[in-house]
């Protein structure tokens, strides 16, 4: 073609380049309009406020940045941060100004004799000008606890600071994993596990299969070898999800993972028992986000010190699986990489349990990945990050775990996914319903759209109803447990939100549609009471598990316990039940079976003390009050055991002391 064919002709016909430019402009404008309408929030209102691009970044390095810092060298491994010039909070830095300490040790330590994998550090060195030598050859000589010859697998801990003209900045505490090989030229870094292995989806719906997941520091072929000689391979990749099939139910297997030319230690797992089998023993905990006290209490967004103790206790108590009830991490970040790094810290703390037994996770309010905007106050306006299919908290949560994918679809396809934060599964005679009452978060939904903490949309409520109805008629299911993070009946630390909001029914979700924000029909107390009535209809429900409040408590809710009914108690019709003054809270007299509401929020977050509510004041006023209510601020974990004729609960602190126990959660059904 000649140049003239692309220009305007004398007859006025436009050239193809000009047409393409017009089409591009039209398409861009159309895409913006469609994008606005496709978002169920009032984007035009948000655009009137300056965006706070970076907020509450906890981890300043990504996993990839840390892994790249580990390099081969002549006399050991070289730690070199010269490639890091931009932190996750978008601060530009001179990597030569990074300094601190680097520690290392074999991982898993004494892997040939320990079952619960844990870290132990043996060598330390100073990081100066962003570089140091890590003398890993000592692990083949003086500090060879693993009988290594030329290869080893280690954990590396970085304690990093940044030199500045003013006050030096703490950059964080991070752990990463690596493998090395001694050669004639020195020490080389080999492909190895950055994460895992983790066993997942061990449940009675498919007792003949499980999923083994792990992440490597570079793309590599991998395999899982079973003790019966079978090998399951994974193609060249960094993210590996290996499905093991044709297994025998209720059977223990040993397995190894091959990465390149190296093998892990032998781990074990046990397949799920068939539907209807007993016993079912499991652990539950919540709120493992960072605590006070420094050190590993504030590790990558997680209280590693407490959570690892609780995971070890669950392992020793023979829990077949672990339910983690939200607020796994500190969260509330605007950075997807920081969000992933915090979840990486959580997985490390749980790894000693997870490499042999599955962990099922729920979303908490701290599992928040946000866009933030100036508010004029100490905290910015916050709303779930978009595009929802890629950067919402729900999407990245689903990407980071392997939970069942049998949850509902949102009734409004513009909203984020429910997949892997709303799901159910069966293990033996027990059925578990995990729901999400921290879905599609917005801190000012009436202004911009979104959902407040504690709220449940009608689509999720109907799904819960269907799950409970199906469980009620399934002869293989004897006990039903429900789990979500926000307490249905809070008692200390979150009585001003959760599913109570100090008695306010004015709280609800708002959806932007047809040019305006539309409030959801039901207020939060109506939603809560609908849920309580639904759960009480079903005799098989043994308990509703919650966390969020950093404590342990148990409370029985039945048709005489005052909980608040807006239709009866809101006498002045202001939408709030002033239960401590002239609007006493009423019971829900149409509740069917009594239900235990159990909160297990003692996973390491800062503790909360008890606060008055209608339900706990009712029980505390009775002579037999401890039979229906008990509160403790200790860190805690639940060990639940379901047998043919009873479901027992034992509550322990991280040191193995018994805090409380209930011999049979089902006894109250006979009241």
Helix or strand holding residue 390 (H, E): helix 388-391
pLDDT at res. 670: 86
Residue-wise pLDDT for 73-85, tens only, equals 999 999 999 999 9
Distances (CA, A) of 469 to 245, 465, 584: 31, 6, 33
Quick one: average pLDDT of 582-611? 98
pLDDT score for 14: 39
135-187 pLDDT, tens digit per residue, is 999 999 999 999 999 999 999 999 999 999 999 999 999 999 999 999 999 99
pTM: 0.94
Which residues, at least 6 apart from 249, have a Cβ–Cβ distance to it below 8 Å? 204, 207, 208, 271, 272, 273, 274
Query: What domains does the chain contain, in order, with CATH numbers?
Result: 63-190 (no CATH), 194-270 (2.60.40.10), 280-670 (3.60.21.10)
pLDDT mean across residues, the chain = 95
Task: State the pairing for strand pair 479-483/430-434.
Answer: parallel
What is the rounded distance in angstroms from the CA atom of residue 135 to the CA atom of residue 125?
9
Average pLDDT in the 184-208 region? 98
Percent of the chain with pLDDT over 90: 94
Average pLDDT of 650-665? Answer: 99
Strand partners for 215 = 195, 239
Instruction: Tell me if 654 sits within 8 A of 637, measured CB to CB.
Output: yes
Q: What is the pLDDT of residues 235-272, one digit of tens each?
A: 999 999 999 999 999 999 999 999 988 999 999 999 99
Distance CA 617, CA 629 (A): 9
C-beta of residue 494 within 8 angstroms of C-beta of residue 326: no
In angstroms, the CA 591 to CA 588 distance is: 6
| pLDDT for residue 61 | 99
On the 0-12 / 13-18 / 19+ scale of CB atoms within 10 A, 543 is: buried
pLDDT by residue (tens digit) across 12-35?
333 444 443 443 444 444 334 434
- pLDDT tens profile 306-317: 999 999 999 999
Task: Specify which residues 639 forms β-bridges with.
Answer: 283, 650
Angle at 326 between CA 325 and CA 328, to 5 degrees: 115
pLDDT at residue 37 in the model: 55
Would you state the pLDDT for residue 36? Answer: 52
CA distance 329 to 291: 10
């Amino acid at each position: 073609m000649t140049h003239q064919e692309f220009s305007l002709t004398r007859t006025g016909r436009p050239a193809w380049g000009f047409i393409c430019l017009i089409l591009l402009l039209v398409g861009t404008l159309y895409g913006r309009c469609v994008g606005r309408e496709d978002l169920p929030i009032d984007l035009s209102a948000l655009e009137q406020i300056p965006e706070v691009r970076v907020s509450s970044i906890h981890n300043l390095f990504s996993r990839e940045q840390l892994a790249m810092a580990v390099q081969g060298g002549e006399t050991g491994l070289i730690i070199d941060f010269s490639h890091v010039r931009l932190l996750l909070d978008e601060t530009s830095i001179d990597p030569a100004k990074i300094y601190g300490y680097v520690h290392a040790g074999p991982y898993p330590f004494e892997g040939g004799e320990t079952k619960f994998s844990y870290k132990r550090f043996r060598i330390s060195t100073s990081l100066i000008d962003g570089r140091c030598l890590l003398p890993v050859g000592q692990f083949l000589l003086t500090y060879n606890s693993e009988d290594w010859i030329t290869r080893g697998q280690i954990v590396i801990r970085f304690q990093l600071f940044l030199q500045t003209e003013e006050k030096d900045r703490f950059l964080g505490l991070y752990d990463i994993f690596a493998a090395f090989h001694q050669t004639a030229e020195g020490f080389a870094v080999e492909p190895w596990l950055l994460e895992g292995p983790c066993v997942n989806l061990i449940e009675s719906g498919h007792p003949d299969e499980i999923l083994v997941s792990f992440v490597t520091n570079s793309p590599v072929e991998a395999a899982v070898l079973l003790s019966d000689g079978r090998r399951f391979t994974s193609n060249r990749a960094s993210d590996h999800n290996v499905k093991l099939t044709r297994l025998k139910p209720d059977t223990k297997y040993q397995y190894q993972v091959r990465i390149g030319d190296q093998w892990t230690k032998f781990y074990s797992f046990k397949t799920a028992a068939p539907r209807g089998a007993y016993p079912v023993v499991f652990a539950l905990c919540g709120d493992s986000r960072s605590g006070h006290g420094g050190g590993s209490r504030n590790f990558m967004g997680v209280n590693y010190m407490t959570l690892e103790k609780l995971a070890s206790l669950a392992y020793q108590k023979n829990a077949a699986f672990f339910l983690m009830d939200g607020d796994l991490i500190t969260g509330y970040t605007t950075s997807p990489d920081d969000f992933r790094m915090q979840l990486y810290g959580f997985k490390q703390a749980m790894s000693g349990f997870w490499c042999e037994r599955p962990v099922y996770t729920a979303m908490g309010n701290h599992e928040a990945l946000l866009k933030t905007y100036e508010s004029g106050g100490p905290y910015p306006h916050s709303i779930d990050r978009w595009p929802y299919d890629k950067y919402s908290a729900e999407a990245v949560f689903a990407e980071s775990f392997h939970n069942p994918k049998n949850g509902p679809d949102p009734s409004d396809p513009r909203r984020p996914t429910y997949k892997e934060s709303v799901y159910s599964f069966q293990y033996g005679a027990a059925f578990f319903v995990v729901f999400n009452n921290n879905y599609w978060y917005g801190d000012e939904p009436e202004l911009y759209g979104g959902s407040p903490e504690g709220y449940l949309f009608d689509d999720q409520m109907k799904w819960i109803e269907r799950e409970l109805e199906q469980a009620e008629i399934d002869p293989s299911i004897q006990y039903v447990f429900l789990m979500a993070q926000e307490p249905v009946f809070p008692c200390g630390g979150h009585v001003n939100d959760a599913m109570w909001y100090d008695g306010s029914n004015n709280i609800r979700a708002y959806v932007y549609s047809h040019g305006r924000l539309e409030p959801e029909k039901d207020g939060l107390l109506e939603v809560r009471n609908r849920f309580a009535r639904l759960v009480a209809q079903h005799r098989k429900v043994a308990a509703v598990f919650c966390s969020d409040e950093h404590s342990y408590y148990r409370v029985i809710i039945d048709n005489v316990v005052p909980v608040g009914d807006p239709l009866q108690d809101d006498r002045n019709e202001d939408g709030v039940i002033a239960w401590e003054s002239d609007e006493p809270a009423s019971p829900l007299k149409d509740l069917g079976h009594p239900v235990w509401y159990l909160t297990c929020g003692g996973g390491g977050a800062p503790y909360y003390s008890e606060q008055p509510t209608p339900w706990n004041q009712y029980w505390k006023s009775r002579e037999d009050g401890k039979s229906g209510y008990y509160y403790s601020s200790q860190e805690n974990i639940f060990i639940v055991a379901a047998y043919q004729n009873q479901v027992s609960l034992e509550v322990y602190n991280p040191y193995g002391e018994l805090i409380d126990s209930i011999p049979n959660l089902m006894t109250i059904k006979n009241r």
